[in-house]
Amino acid sequence: MDLLQLRYFMTVAQEEHISRAANKLMVAQPSLSKMIKNLEGELGCPLFDRVGKNIRLNENGRIVLAHTEKIFLQLSDMKRELWQSENGDEGEVRLSVVASTGWLPEIITGFKKEYPKIDIVISQKPYGASGGDDIYIYSSTQPPQEGETLLLKEDCLLAMPEGHRLAEGETPLCDSDIASLENDSFFVMENRRPLWDITYDLCRRAGFTPHTALECDSRDTIFALVKAGLGVAFVPELTWKASYNAQGIAVRALENSQPRYILMRCSEGFMPACVKKLREHLVWFYNSKLYH
């Protein structure tokens, strides 16, 4: 058994059709059929079930395919690791960010100053999406689970127009203060994101279901509506601070705030040096924000 046999087998397994696989591999169909038969003979079991003119991968074949894919993934990782050992300060990192996006410019510019030859491709993919990224940053109402790194834990504040009845005062707002917002309109993030959950949980704990005037995915829109006096919103204390300060919006701390967690997860498998460098930079960056 050699790598060529395994590569040909993997293509046949993916296509489940000898002719199509032969065309894809640019080899003669009889030669490909013979190679598969030799592999089956060497392993001592059939890898495909013949159904008329078609073939179907059987249980034996699925076992061999799983191991074959791991072999070629390890070979690919070996090549990437060798390249990285020679070019540790170069490469490309795919970064998905769906939380604390307002800090992205500062993160990227700071990293590029130190590693100008490392390119960062930014997306907003969920973890596990096809064509996956190297690093994912997202928020949650739950502490970090296995495989997740805690970047930041922050409380939420009540944001309101400066003339709001709760705008004055230094002490944190208690549940009875929140209960007085029952007739106010709330602006929340859409799609049941963590801030959506936090808003509803805080209001329910105070004894009411919030009247949501708008669900959107733009914090700038939320702050513009709050500033205009059209409602209130629960907002993250640290990651949204620059925005609510710039808007001139009043904020008050909460006595029983529910925390929001900013988490990082890296894709499984080999981690190139350039990805490690960005991961370390992200940990340092978010840690530095705790002391500003």
- pLDDT at residue 88, as a whole number: 63
185 & 140 share domain: no
251 & 276 share domain: no
List pLDDT tens digits, range 223-244: 999 999 999 999 999 999 888 8
Q: Which two tokens stand for residue 51?
A: 């159904």
List pLDDT tens digits, range 155-212: 999 999 999 999 998 899 999 999 999 999 999 988 778 999 999 999 999 999 999 9
269 & 218 share domain: no
73 & 208 share domain: no
Q: What is the CATH number of the domain that holds 274?
A: 3.40.190.10
Give the end of a domain, one of 67, 85, 103: 85
Calpha distance 64→70 (Å, rounded): 10
114 & 188 share domain: no
Work out the average pLDDT over 245-256: 88
The 8-class DSSP code of residue 238 comes to: T
54 & 191 share domain: no
131 & 161 share domain: no
List pLDDT tens digits, range 52-97: 777 888 999 899 999 998 888 888 778 777 766 665 677 889 999 9
Give the end of a domain, one of 44, 68, 85: 85
Calpha distance 48→58 (Å, rounded): 5
Residue 227's SS3 state is helix
Please choose, from the candidates 104, 22, 81, the residue with its C-alpha nearest in 3D space to the C-alpha of residue 272: 81
The 8-class DSSP code of residue 111 comes to: H
| Confidence at 264, pLDDT banded by 50, 70, 90 | very high
Cα distance from N-terminal residue to C-terminal residue, the chain? 60
234 & 146 share domain: no
pTM for this prediction: 0.68
Q: Give the phi and the psi of residue 123 in degrees, each rounded to 5.
A: -140, -175
83 CB-side CA count, 13 A: 13
Give the end of a domain, one of 41, 68, 85: 85
Give me the domain span that covers residue 96: 88-151+262-289
List pLDDT tens digits, range 41-53: 999 999 998 887 7
168 & 242 share domain: yes
147 & 267 share domain: yes
58 & 44 share domain: yes
- pLDDT at residue 292, as a whole number: 55
Calpha distance 283→161 (Å, rounded): 34
| Confidence at 283, pLDDT banded by 50, 70, 90 | very high
113 & 176 share domain: no
% of the chain residues with pLDDT over 90? 55
Strands 149-154 and 260-266: antiparallel
Q: What is the CATH number of the domain that holds 14?
A: 1.10.10.10
- pLDDT at residue 269, as a whole number: 78
Burial class of residue 231 (count of CB atoms within 10 Å of its CB; 0-12, 13-18, 19+) = buried
Q: How far is CA 107 from CA 125, 211, 235, 239, in A?
A: 18, 36, 21, 13
List pLDDT tens digits, range 131-149: 678 999 999 999 999 999 9
Average pLDDT of the chain, as a whole number: 89
The total of structural domains in the chain comes to: 3
DSSP annotation string for 160-193 = E-TTSTTSS-SSPB-HHHHHTTTTSEEEEESTT-
